[in-house]
Structure 1
Amino acid sequence: MVGSSHEALHRIFQKDPALLTRALQRVLHVPFPEPRQIAALNVDLTEIEPVERRVDTLLRAETDEGTYLFVIESQGKVDDRKRGSWPYYLSYLYEKYRCEPVLIVVTQNSATAKWASRPIRLGFRDWHSLTVRPLVLGPDNVPVVADEQAAVRDVPVAVLSAMTHGRGRQAPAILESLATALQTIDDETAAVFAQFVDSCLADPQAKQMWRDLMTATQYFWRHPLAEQVREEGREEGRAEAKAEMILHMLQWRGIEVPDTVRDRVNACTDLNQLEVWAQCAMHAKDATELFAAD
C-alpha cells in the first residue's frame, strides 16, 4: 500500500509505464521514440555495502532507436545533495547496462520543479566534464484535467493531474472528473490509482473530498485504502457517514444546501437510497436535484 506522495509520484509510472512516454512526448515535448516494450528493473544501485544508493523507479524501454533507462525520482523539496547523486546514478547505470539513461524528476512543487530543471554541470567554468539535464514533470507543465471526457480519454494522465494539482479551487472539478473516469476502467487498476491520489493530496479538505467520492464507488470498499478509512471510524454508522458525505460534496461544489434538503438526507437510513443520492451529488447543479429520480 502506497503511504506517501513520494512513493505515489514515481510508482504511478510502474503501474502504467506507457504514461511516461506520453508525458515525455505531450507534456515535455521530447521526441522520444515509441517503446516496443517497457520493463521495471531493480532499483538498488548499491556497489559497496556501506554506500547504499537507490533510485525511486527504474524502467527499461526498448525502442526502434535503441534501449533507454528511465530513472524516475520523486522530489518533495530542494536538495542540493542530488547534484552529486543524480550524475552518479546515470553514470553507474550506463556502466552497468550499457544503454542510455534518462533522468525524470516528478514533483508537486513549482519551486522544486524550477530547481530540478537546472542543468547539473561538473567541471570548471569554460569546460564541463559532465552535464546532467533532468526532465521535470510538475504543476507548471502537467495539464490540469478537470473535464470528464478528457479524464475518460486518458485516465493515467488524469491521475497524474490530480496528484499534481489536487488542491485549491480547482480540486473539486479535477477530483470529480477523475472519480467518473475511474469507473470506466477495471476495478483493480482504479483502486490502485485511487490510492496514489489519496497519498498525494496534502490539502485535508481535498483529501476528505476524494475519500467521500471514493466511498460512493463500490471498488473502494474492496481496496486496502478502505481499511485505513475504517480504522478512522468511518464505517461505523455508514448511513450517517454517507449522508454527511453527500452534504459535504454539495458544499464543496459550491451548491447551497437548504435546510429541507439537509434534514431529508440526514434522516435517511436506507443505504441504497443514499447511494443513489451520492451519485447524483457528483453532478447535480442544484441540491434539490438529488430527489429528482425519487
Structure 2
Amino acid sequence: MPSPQHDSLIRLFRDRPPLAVEVLRDLLGHDLPVTPLVRVENPTFNTRPSDDIEADLVLVLGSPAAPAHGIIVEIQKDTSKEPRQLARYAAALWLQLRCDATVLVVCPDARTAAHYAHPIESGLSGYRLQACVLGPADIPAITDPRQAAAQPELAALAVMVHGRERKVVEAFAAALADLPADHAPKYYEHAYSMSAPDVRRLLEEIMTSTDWPVYSPFAREHFGRGLEEGKAEGKAEEAARMVLLVLTARGLEVPEEIRDRITACTDLARLESWAARAATARTVHDLFGGTDTEDR
C-alpha cells in the first residue's frame, strides 16, 4: 500500500509537471525536447491479455496531437518492484504515444537508488532500459531561503533528504513566508509527509517558533483548522467581553470567580445565551439558568 511519503512525492510531481523535466535536465543531465507543453497523462497501460499495468505518474511533453516525449515517474522506497516492469512501462508508453519515453525513478533511499540505476534487461533482444534515478545524492541541500522560495518543490525534497541539517529546514521555513498563502500549506504538508520522524520534529520546532501559522501533522488540515479555531476563539472572546460589558453597564458587581468563568468559556452558543440573560438578570448568578447543563 502506498505510504504518505509515496503519495506526497507523486503529488509533488503531479501538481507541477515541469518539475520532472527540471529534475531530468538540471539534476540528472538528461536531454529532453524543448517545449513549454507538459501535461499529465493517464498512467494505465492496457496490455493483452487484458490486464492493467499502472505507473505512478505519466507526463507528456508536447501537444496531444504531436507528443514529443513521455516521462514515467515512479516512486520507489525499496527494491520490491521488478525492474523489468519499468521496461514494460516505457515500451507501453512508446507504443501508445509513438515517441521516445524516459523512466524517472525517485528513490529517497540511497541503496534503492543504486539498485534501479543498473541497466535493465527487458528480456527482449536489443531492448535494454536505462532508467534515470533521482537518489539522495542528486538532491542538493538548499540553505538559501531565496532559492527555496524560487524552487519550493526542490526545497521540499531537500528537507526530505537533508532535513537533519537545521539550515535546510530553516531555509524552507523562511521560504514559505514568501509563497502565496494557499500554496505554503501544501508544500509544508509535502515536506512533512515525506520526512523521517526526527526531521518532522525539527520541522515542527522551527515552524512553531515562527509567526507563520502552520502546525503538523498535516499542514492543509491543520492550517485550515488553525485559522478556523482562531476565528472561533476570537468570536468567543468577543462574546465574553459583551457579557461582562452588559453586566457592568447595568451596575451589577461581577465577582472574580464569575468573571473568570465567563472569560474561560469557549462555547459561543453558551456565551450568547449568557449575553441575552445579562440584559434582564437581577443578579450575576441569574446568568446561569437551570437549562445550562454545564452548571447543574
- TM-score of the aligned structures, taking structure 2 as reference length: 0.66
Report whether the alignment pairs 1:181 with 2:175: yes
Q: CA deviation at 1:200?
A: 0.9
- 1:167-246 alignment to 2 at 5 Å? 168=164, 170=165, 172-202=166-196, 204-215=197-208, 216=210, 217-218=212-213, 223-226=219-222
Tell me what 2:255 maps to. Answer: none
Q: CA deviation at 1:51?
A: 2.9
Tell me what 1:72 maps to. Answer: 73
Tell me what 2:118 maps to. Answer: 118
Tell me what 1:270 maps to. Answer: none
Secondary structure of the residue aligned to 2:26 is: helix
Q: Structure 2: which 5+ residue stretches go unaligned?
A: 234-296
Taking structure 1 as reference, are residues 207 and 34 closer, same or farther at Cα in structure 2, changes over 3 Å only? same
- 1:149-172 Cα offsets, whole Å, 9 max, x none, are 332332222122122332x3x1x2
- 1:37-52 alignment to 2 at 5 Å? 37-47=37-47, 51-52=51-52
Would the aligned equivalents of 2:152 and 2:187 in 1 still touch at CA under 8 Å? no
Tell me what 2:7 maps to. Answer: 7
Secondary structure of the residue aligned to 2:154 is: helix
Amino acid in structure 2 at the alignment position of 1:72: V
Of 149, 153, 172, the match for 2:150: 153
Taking structure 1 as reference, are residues 153 and 224 closer, same or farther at Cα in structure 2, changes over 3 Å only? closer
Secondary structure of the residue aligned to 1:5 is: helix
Report whether the alignment pairs 1:129 with 2:130: no
Q: CA deviation at 1:18?
A: 2.1
Tell me what 1:261 maps to. Answer: none
Would the aligned equivalents of 1:4 and 1:199 in 2 still touch at CA under 8 Å? yes
Q: CA deviation at 1:183?
A: 1.6
- 1:102-126 Cα offsets, whole Å, 9 max, x none, are 10000111111111111102349xx
Give, in whole Å, the separation in 2 of the partners of 1:122 and 1:49: 19
Give, in whole Å, the separation in 1 of the partners of 2:193 and 2:62: 31
Secondary structure of the residue aligned to 1:188 is: coil
Which of 220-229 and 103-112 deviates more? Answer: 220-229
Q: Structure 1: which 5+ residue stretches go unaligned?
A: 239-294
Q: CA deviation at 1:47?
A: 4.0
Give, in whole Å, the separation in 2 of the partners of 1:180 and 1:227: 17
- 1:35-71 Cα offsets, whole Å, 9 max, x none, are 22111111222446973321111111118x9611110
Would the aligned equivalents of 1:120 and 1:133 in 2 still touch at CA under 8 Å? yes
Taking structure 1 as reference, are residues 55 and 190 closer, same or farther at Cα in structure 2, changes over 3 Å only? same
Give, in whole Å, the separation in 1 of the partners of 2:28 and 2:41: 24
Amino acid in structure 2 at the alignment position of 1:118: H
Amino acid in structure 2 at the alignment position of 1:165: H
Secondary structure of the residue aligned to 1:161 is: helix
Give, in whole Å, the separation in 2 of the partners of 1:102 and 1:173: 34
Alignment RMSD (CA, Å)? 3.1
Secondary structure of the residue aligned to 1:211 is: helix
Secondary structure of the residue aligned to 1:140 is: helix
Amino acid in structure 2 at the alignment position of 1:218: P
Tell me what 1:54 maps to. Answer: 54
- TM-score of the aligned structures, taking structure 1 as reference length: 0.67
Secondary structure of the residue aligned to 1:156 is: helix
Tell me what 1:272 maps to. Answer: none
Higher relative contact order (CA 8 A, sep 6+): 1
- 1:10-34 Cα offsets, whole Å, 9 max, x none, are 3211112222222122211123233
- 1:180-217 Cα offsets, whole Å, 9 max, x none, are 11221212222211111111111x23212223444442
